[in-house]
Structure 1
Amino acid sequence: MAAMQGAGAYAKVGVESGVMSASPHQLIVMLFDGACTAIRAARIHMEAGHIAEKGKSISKALDIVNNGLLAALDGERGGEVAGNLASLYEYIARRLLAANAQNDVGALDEAERLLDDIASAWRDIESQAAGA
């Protein structure tokens, strides 16, 4: 048990260190990764019938989408792209809520696929900027 707590504390320090040294672009990528990880955990809990854990994982994904990704959008500077992303994030949030309420694995899959697609585009932007 103590080894598990130690490993968890070590992992938390690693994540915190990564956040502290990350660029704003990298922070957004980390949010996508965190949301997808939470969705995958929710799927595992849903399939195992662990309702409370499923709800916690979906809540975590929703929190990242609403209070991380959506909140980070700058409508003034982002214009139409920011507006389109806001609509997409709101749709993803609705799919996550539906997945939770209806135990719908398909809704989880769709939310994860959409987030993966956007995250992939973010990663491409970063790699292009680094190569320029």
Structure 2
Amino acid sequence: MFGSSKLYGANAYTKIGEETGVMAADPHKLIVMLFDGAIIAIGNAVQQMKNKEIAKKGKSISHAISIIDNGLRASLDKEAGGEIAKNLDALYEYMSRELLLANAGNKEEKLLEVQNLLRDLKITWEAIKPASTAAPSAPPPTTNYDPLQPKQTHAFEA
């Protein structure tokens, strides 16, 4: 009775942490988070395949495909990205197809191939992290005014 509520509470805190991380992340970091999510989902699927947990395996693979198609692939700007974006689009399509085949045929090697491709892309993506474009903020101007001191009044003030 109490174990399940503790697990639910821990999951709720994890979910809040993930949502906060997503809301605070810059676009570059969001892509890294997508790579991580797909890599983890595939790792889970490999373990579930070994444990013969068919339904869980299918759910994990579906989650990885969703991240690839609705996250990574959907974020591509094929006009601005040119040939690189088109090649990535084709690679993401290949990954999704291989994951479907891995699921249907219980092919662990296909899962590992896609997981390794995602790891390589993540490493490359992290290497091209853009420098912060925000200019450092100037320190606030110093004044001799102390807001805790009583205000001096002048004869002209009423």
Answer yes or no: same fold by TM over 0.5.
Answer: yes
Name the structure 2 match of 1:85.
88
* Aligned-partner Cα distance in 2 for 1:122–1:6: 34
**Percentage of matched positions with identical amino acids:** 53
Q: Identify the match of residue 124 of structure 1 among 122, 127, 135.
A: 127
Structure 2 unaligned regions, length at least 5: 133-158
When Rg is computed on C-alpha atoms for both structures, the one with the higher figure is 2
* Aligned-partner Cα distance in 2 for 1:129–1:33: 22
1:129 is displaced (CA, Å) by 3.0
Higher helix share: 1
Structure 1 unaligned regions, length at least 5: none
1:2 is displaced (CA, Å) by 1.1
Name the structure 2 match of 1:72.
75
SS of structure 1 residue aligned to 2:74 = helix
**Cα deviations across residues 11-63 of structure 1 (Å, max 9, x unaligned)?**
00000000000000100000000000100010011000010000000000000
Moved over 3 A (4+): none
* Aligned-partner Cα distance in 2 for 1:3–1:122: 37
**Map 1:1-20 → 2, pairs under 5 A:** 1-20=4-23
TM-score (norm 2): 0.80
1:94 is displaced (CA, Å) by 1.0
SS of structure 2 residue aligned to 1:49 = coil
TM-score (norm 1): 0.95
Tell me the matched-pair count: 129
* Aligned-partner Cα distance in 1 for 2:123–2:89: 17
Name the structure 1 match of 2:110.
107
